[in-house]
Structure 1
Amino acid sequence: MTAPSTKKTVNTVSATSRSDFPIIVIGTSAGGQSALSSLVAQLPADFPAAILIVQHMAATSSNEAMLRLLADKGNLPCKQAAQHGVIRSGYIYLAQPDHHLMISQGKTLATKGARENRARPAIDPLFRSAAVEFGNRVIGVILTGYLDDGTSGMEVIRRCGGICVVQDPADAAYPDMPQNVLNHVKVDHCVPLAEMGSLLTRLALSERGARIAVPADVAVEAKIAQRVLSDLESVDFLGTQVPFNCPGCGGVLWQMKVGEHLRFRCHTGHAYTVAALLAEQTAKMEETLWVALRMFEENKNLLVKMGAEGTASPSYAERVEQSDIHIRRIKAMLHSNTANTDPLP
């Protein structure tokens, strides 16, 4: 799946080896379109790094409007990330709808792997793969958004020697994502959006020290995200099995904990932070309640029809009343869920 690139005045920097220029990975969700357009407008035409972006989006959406917006607002050429695409300095690469964006062997990957934190594309797989591939050449950026996708990925970037940057939550339209990073990761910079362009330009030009070894658990998670297959051995290495089921596939979950950030994985590849798991469980419960409501209403309607035709047993009226009781209870729970459900990322 590809889309035509949206071109501006093209930076003529040729493709080079993956150690020659920094990689900036950006994650955002709600409010991201406005934030990204503001950020790219601050970057010069000779920007000395490649930029890879994950914006949470619906599976049925299109990147064309976003690519056009980023190209019109900024000075850099914008492309939809392709499978096995070459990464060039001075280019912006945007994740495809309903595909994770990752990096492998210095090239972009666009995969239909399991959702992470309820999202595809998700931020953590990109950040994790970039850290494994580029180590301390990576600059991670988290902008506005709901919940906490990107927190784990930023921690991985920090552990691999990269630089962590977050938008000041007070400056974000939706502060959850940057605030969750600040709560769990020792970031290098927390700045308003208006200051981020000049900061990223300085960081991209700064000297970096020697690379450090990639932690074993980080390398394993990066491999899991690139494969669409069951892998019990890998999740056994990463954590401990717990008595919870994966909302995505119904399988058993493994609990992982790095520092203070608790996460869960199933052996098919779905991954959740605590906040994402709770939000997905709530969504599944609501779905189940709607199914139960339909079944009780159908049961009641059938009983009423049987009674009207004189084919019901004498106890049908009592059964109609019982169905009514269940229907009222389910509607009350659905009303409560509507008022309290966490928003989708």
Structure 2
Amino acid sequence: MTTPPANLIVVGASAGGVEALRDFVGGLPADLSAAVLVVLHLPRRGPSALASILRRVGTVPVDAAENGEPLVAGRVYTAVPDHHLLVADGRILLSNGPTENGHRPGIDALFRSAAVSWGPRVAGVVLSGTLDDGTAGLTVIRARGGLTAVQDPEDANYPSMPENALAAMDVDLVLPAEKLGRALVEQLRTRTVATPAPVSQLDALEARIDAGERNSTEEVKTMMPASGLICPDCGGPLFTAEPDRRFRCRIGHAWTAEALLLEEHLEVERALWSALRLVQEKRELADRMHAAALDRGQDLLAETYAERGAEHSHTAEVLRRLLGPRSA
């Protein structure tokens, strides 16, 4: 006989997350009365071995999430590739909603969904990872009266995600990953659950977008001010969800400022590499035409091609300096 969970624990991890998740799941007590949902940033294509990896540690059963599956106490559910892992009416919802920071599954999407549906009966956990994924969702969990926990940055292989969460708010627990699970469960058992704060209109809208409700994206432009920035995913205008912190486009793609800055840096780098390739081809073509003109005795034309080749060589050198040592 299955038992519905008394509480919900949602966990997010990225780079270095497999090791952190092994420690966290291994530390969960056997008599766990909560359900645990886990998002690790995954490649969009191909199977995930995360459930089988975590199944080997600890005593709590672990399964890959299935759409529509009812949540059961004492079980861990892992996200699957190319789907947001969400909750609705005590069941799992796998959504193909817009990406967040280029990811699907997204950590913030899970955290936001749990906070909206479960209010103060949620505990959010941010583990090892780069950038600031999880911070926005953990903020919503805290606003709804849920517990917040972060892996001690000194214990994380990649401390950026824990550090960003700690910089944004006061969290309830900061511990090594192997100690977080048991400590969190103990707090869930003994705490007094307060009346949840109302769900903000913005959080409700974003939760609907994460769930794939396409008509909800039209509300973005009416509820969020224009940012003057462009979405790297679709090229559409971005609107401000949180000033200088988070953005969404009309399609629904979500970006934090830190992730957006990195993506734009990568776009510039890709453009520079493309420019370097084209300039090198132009220099090689000018060299060939210079040689051909010399063979025909066309010295003035050969000199023109030589000058063009020198110009292209100079441009290529400038681009290499911009790209750094890897282009040498």
Query: What TM-score do the two structures reach when normalised by structure 1?
Result: 0.86
Residues 197-208 of structure 1: matches in 2 within 5 Å? 197-206=181-190, 207-208=192-193
Give a deviation string over 1:230-273, Cα, whole Å, max 9, x none: 76642224421122111111111112227xx7211111122111
**Are 1:241 and 2:230 matched, yes or no?**
no
**Are 1:316 and 2:305 matched, yes or no?**
yes
Structure 2 residue aligned with 1:275: 258
Structure 2 residue aligned with 1:74: 58
**Are 1:123 and 2:107 matched, yes or no?**
yes
Give a deviation string over 1:272-320, Cα, whole Å, max 9, x none: 1111111111111111111111211222222222333339955222221
Structure 2 residue aligned with 1:328: 317
Structure 1 position 24, deviation (Å) = 0.3
**Are 1:179 and 2:168 matched, yes or no?**
no
**Are 1:304 and 2:287 matched, yes or no?**
yes
Tell me if the contact between 1:63 and 1:97 (Cα under 8 Å) persists in the aligned partners: yes
Structure 1 residue aligned with 2:21: 36
**Are 1:195 and 2:184 matched, yes or no?**
no
1:290–1:46: structure 2 CA closer, same or farther, 3 Å change rule?
A: same
Secondary structure, counterpart of 1:43 in structure 2: coil
Tell me if the contact between 2:85 and 2:105 (Cα under 8 Å) persists in the aligned partners: yes
1:13 is matched by which residue type in structure 2?
A: T
How many correspondences in the alignment?
320
1:120 is matched by which residue type in structure 2?
A: R
Deviates more, 1:321-330 or 1:298-307: 298-307
Distance 1:326 1:231 in 2: 47
Give a deviation string over 1:90-143, Cα, whole Å, max 9, x none: 111111123221123332222333221232222000000111111111100011
2:203 is matched by which residue type in structure 1?
A: V
Structure 2 unaligned regions, length at least 5: none
Distance 1:290 1:230 in 2: 39
Structure 1 position 337, deviation (Å) = 8.6
1:85 is matched by which residue type in structure 2?
A: E
1:41 is matched by which residue type in structure 2?
A: G
Structure 2 residue aligned with 1:114: 98
Distance 2:98 2:314 in 1: 39
**Are 1:295 and 2:290 matched, yes or no?**
no
1:104–1:308: structure 2 CA closer, same or farther, 3 Å change rule?
A: farther
Deviates more, 1:266-275 or 1:303-312: 303-312
Structure 1 position 28, deviation (Å) = 0.9
Distance 2:310 2:228 in 1: 37
**Are 1:212 and 2:197 matched, yes or no?**
yes
1:142–1:332: structure 2 CA closer, same or farther, 3 Å change rule?
A: same
Structure 1 residue aligned with 2:2: 13
Secondary structure, counterpart of 1:309 in structure 2: helix
Distance 1:327 1:121 in 2: 40
Residue from 264, 285, 288 that aligns with 2:247: 264
Tell me if the contact between 2:26 and 2:178 (Cα under 8 Å) persists in the aligned partners: no
Structure 1 position 228, deviation (Å) = 6.7
Structure 1 position 198, deviation (Å) = 1.9
Deviates more, 1:276-285 or 1:162-171: 162-171
Distance 2:216 2:273 in 1: 33
Tell me if the contact between 1:50 and 1:89 (Cα under 8 Å) persists in the aligned partners: yes
Structure 1 unaligned regions, length at least 5: 1-11, 339-345
Secondary structure, counterpart of 2:38 in structure 1: strand
RMSD: 2.2
Q: Who wins on radius of gyration, i.e. which is larger?
A: 2
Query: What TM-score do the two structures reach when normalised by structure 2?
Result: 0.90
Distance 2:325 2:230 in 1: 24
Secondary structure, counterpart of 2:56 in structure 1: helix
**Are 1:169 and 2:153 matched, yes or no?**
yes
Tell me if the contact between 1:243 and 1:252 (Cα under 8 Å) persists in the aligned partners: yes
Give a deviation string over 1:34-84, Cα, whole Å, max 9, x none: 1111111122222110000011233345322x2222111111111111222
1:274 is matched by which residue type in structure 2?
A: A
Tell me if the contact between 1:230 and 1:267 (Cα under 8 Å) persists in the aligned partners: no
Secondary structure, counterpart of 1:85 in structure 2: coil
Deviates more, 1:279-288 or 1:111-120: 111-120
**Are 1:253 and 2:242 matched, yes or no?**
no
Distance 1:336 1:298 in 2: 21
- Which structure has more helix as a fraction of its residues? 2
Residue from 117, 140, 144 that aligns with 2:128: 144
Structure 2 residue aligned with 1:83: 67
Distance 2:285 2:211 in 1: 50
